[in-house]
Amino acid sequence: MLPLPDPPEKFAEAIELQVKARMDERQKRIDEALAVNVQIDDIKRYENALTYLDGIEEDVLVDESDESENLRKQIIYQDYINKGFKPERAQKEVTKSFNAGTDIEDAKLALESNKEYFKEEYDELIETNKQKVKQEKLVRDQQVSEFKKKVLETIVKPVHKDKDGKLLTSLQKYSKENPSDSEYYFSLFYELTDGFKNVDKLVGQKVKQNTKSALRSLDNKLKNAPLNGDGSFDFNSGLDENSHLSTLPKGWKFA
C-alpha cells in the first residue's frame, strides 16, 4: 500500500521553513557586511543578484516560451561575461548554444556558475573590508599607544628647572604658571577619560562616531526596504516589472 501524501499544512510548513532558513542566512550575511562597512549599494546589488538567482525555478528556465528562452540567453550570456569574455564574444557563444540545441543544459550550468560567481565576489568584498577594518584598528591602537606614551612622558619626565633649581615636568611647569587653566583642563581630562580609566576615548573619537552613524544608517535602510512576496528585498532595479528579470540588481551586463 502506497503511503498517503503529506497534508497541505505540512507541505506549507516545509516551504516556510526553507524560506526562513534562506532569510536567516541572508540576514546573517547582511549583518556581517554592515559590520565591516560594506557600502549599501554593494549590499543591495549582491543580495538582489543572489536572491534572484536562487529564485529561478527549473520549470521556468526550461520552458519553451519566448520569455524563458530570453531568460536562458541572458543567464548564459552573463556567465560568459563573468568569465571575462567581451560582449560580442559572449553573444556569439549564446548563439552557438541555441544553434546547437544545447541551450537548456547550458543555461542550467550557467545558472549554477552565476550563483557561485556572485557569492564568491560578495565573500571577497566582505573579506577585503574585514582586512581594512582590522588595519584601521591597528592604526588606532598605535595612535593610542603613542598618545599614552606622550602623556606618561609629560607626567613623569623632568624637563624644566624653576628659579630655585627644582626639576619640573612639563605638566608641573604649566600648572605652576597657569593654576586656573590647569585646574580646568585637569578636570576636563578627568571627565573625558572616565576618571583616567579610558584614554582611548580621546583618540579617533570623531572617526568612531561617524562609523557608528554610518552603520546605523545602512542598517535602517535595509530594515525599511520593501519586501517582495518571497521575502527578498525589493530594490527596484528599473527593469520591466512584468519580466522575470525585474528584480535583478543594477549593473548586470545582460544583452
Q: How many residues does the chain have?
A: 255
CA distance 133 to 118: 23
Kindly report, residue by residue over 109-168, the tens digit of the pLDDT: 999 999 999 999 999 999 999 999 999 999 988 888 887 787 777 667 787 888 888 888
**Residue 37 pLDDT exceeds 80:** yes
pLDDT at position 120, please? 94
Kindly report, residue by residue over 122-137, the tens digit of the pLDDT: 999 999 999 999 999 9
pLDDT at position 231, please? 39
3-class DSSP state of 65: coil
**Residue 207 pLDDT exceeds 70:** no
Rg value, the chain, Cα: 30
Mean pLDDT of 168-190: 82
3-class DSSP state of 150: helix
pLDDT grade for 3, boundaries at 50, 70 and 90 = low
For cell 505540512, the residue is: 10
The half-sphere exposure of 164 on its side-chain side, counting CA atoms within 13 A, is: 3
Residues 6+ apart with CB under 8 A from 155: 169, 171
pLDDT at position 12, please? 62
pLDDT at position 17, please? 60
pLDDT at position 183, please? 82
Mean pLDDT of 173-187: 83
Most confidently predicted of 33-42, 182-191, 236-245: 33-42
Kindly report, residue by residue over 6-31, the tens digit of the pLDDT: 666 665 665 566 556 666 788 899 99
**Residue 247 pLDDT exceeds 50:** no
Which long-range CB contacts under 8 A does 13-22 form with residues at least 24 apart?
A: 19/230, 19/231, 22/54, 22/231
